[in-house]
């Protein structure tokens, strides 16, 4: 089959570019450019003028083979942006890969919270994600992701396809965190005790800064349905868990956020209303 006889497979190429700046006591959107089906809803100030909240929306509702999402955001000096999503991102079964690239830059004195809801990778999906985060000077970051492989509630295991992800976090050009993941359908690591141990959901939270041993122990003692733990690295706290359901993983991350946000970002946690709808 050549290019002239191959069946046409429609796909979306969507781009979203966001910028935020500090103006007096307010964080204001300074840039909002989109191409294709990727948007943000009206900016919100649920916590007051200092924190600008945006909800990123992908109107098609799912990502199919050949789709490409490119998202970038820059938080200017001393600004504070919080980005979340209205629901789960769904990556559908496909004959070819789909892609997402995320580029985040946080300038001196600024704070970025990247708090999407879960990502569901259907069996036979081919999902490839790449995330680059650059922090300047004393910029602050709170980042999480929740990955659900297959749809256990529908009896679907992750038996084919693949999930591939890369995450790099740098401060002033120096690498703080580098991670590469690749999980193939029906891989032995899905059920291995040194892999996912039969749990279809895994989640990670990364937050800049360091906490005292007492708070670290409080985080570790949180009652939860997940199997999780935390590790304090120089300048970066890492939390990970395995779970049987995405809701359990998300609840654990939110409880950690309630404890860690005041200590490391300087504000009490106020859950976005979209999480309750």
**Residue 196 belongs to a domain:** yes
Count CB-CB contacts under 10 A for residue 69: 22
| pLDDT score of 66 | 94
pLDDT tens, position by position, for the chain (277 residues)? 343 343 445 688 999 999 999 999 999 999 999 999 999 999 999 999 999 999 999 988 799 999 999 999 999 999 999 999 999 999 999 999 999 999 999 999 999 999 999 999 999 999 999 999 999 999 999 999 999 999 988 889 999 999 999 999 999 999 999 999 999 999 999 999 999 999 999 999 999 999 999 999 999 999 999 999 999 999 999 999 999 999 999 999 999 999 999 999 999 999 999 998 7
What is the Cα–Cα distance from 165 to 100, expressed in whole angstroms?
9
What is the Cα–Cα distance from 105 to 22, expressed in whole angstroms?
15
What's the pTM value of the predicted model, to 2 decimals?
A: 0.94
Residue from 128, 104, 100, 122 nearest 114 by CA:
104
Question: CB–CB of 97/126 below 8 Å?
Answer: yes
| pLDDT score of 10 | 66
**Residue 74 belongs to a domain:** yes
Residue 39 β-bridge partners: 57
Sign of CA dihedral 168, 32, 83, 126: negative
Q: What is the DSSP string of 81-139?
A: EEEE-SS-EEE---SS-EEEEEEEEE-TT-EEEEE---EEE-TT-EEEEEEEEEE-TT-
What is the Cα–Cα distance from 49 to 53, expressed in whole angstroms?
10
**Residue 33 belongs to a domain:** yes
**Residue 4 belongs to a domain:** no
Write out the residue range of the structural domain in which residue 160 sits: 13-276
Contacts of 32 (CB under 8 A, 6+ apart): 17, 18, 19, 40
DSSP, res 265: I
What is the Cα–Cα distance from 181 to 166, expressed in whole angstroms?
6
| pLDDT score of 7 | 45
**Residue 7 belongs to a domain:** no
Query: What torsion, rounded to 10 degrees, do the Cα atoms 20, 141, 110, 217 define?
Result: 140
**Residue 2 belongs to a domain:** no
| pLDDT score of 152 | 85
- Give me the number of domains the chain comprises: 1
The DSSP bridge pattern shows strands 119-121 and 89-91 to be: parallel
**Residue 225 belongs to a domain:** yes
**Residue 68 belongs to a domain:** yes
| pLDDT score of 206 | 98
């Amino acid at each position: 089959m050549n290019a002239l006889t191959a069946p046409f497979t429609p796909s979306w190429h969507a781009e979203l570019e966001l910028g935020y700046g500090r103006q007096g006591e307010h964080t204001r959107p300074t840039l909002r450019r989109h191409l294709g089906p990727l948007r943000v809803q009206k900016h919100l100030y649920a916590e007051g003028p200092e924190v600008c909240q945006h909800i990123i929306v992908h109107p098609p509702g799912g990502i199919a083979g050949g789709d490409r999402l490119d998202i970038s955001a820059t938080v200017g000096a001393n600004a504070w942006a919080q980005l979340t999503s209205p629901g789960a991102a769904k990556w559908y079964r496909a004959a070819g890969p789909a892609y997402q690239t995320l580029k985040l830059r946080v300038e001196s004195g600024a704070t970025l919270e990247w708090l999407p809801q879960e990502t569901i990778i259907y069996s036979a999906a081919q999902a490839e994600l790449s995330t680059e985060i650059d922090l300047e000077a004393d910029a602050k970051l709170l980042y999480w992701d929740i990955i659900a492989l297959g749809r256990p509630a529908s009896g679907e295991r992750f038996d084919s396809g693949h999930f591939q992800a890369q995450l790099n976090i740098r401060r002033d050009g120096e690498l703080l965190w580098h991670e590469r993941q690749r999980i193939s359908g029906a891989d032995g690591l899905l059920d291995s005790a040194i892999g996912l141990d039969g749990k279809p959901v895994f989640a990670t939270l990364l937050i800049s800064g360091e906490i005292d041993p007492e708070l670290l122990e409080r985080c570790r003692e949180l009652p939860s349905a997940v199997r999780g733990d935390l590790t304090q690295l120089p300048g970066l706290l890492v939390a990970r868990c395995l779970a049987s359901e995405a809701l359990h993983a998300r609840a654990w991350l939110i409880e950690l956020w309630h404890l860690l946000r005041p200590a490391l970002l300087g504000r009490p946690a106020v859950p976005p209303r979209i999480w309750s709808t």
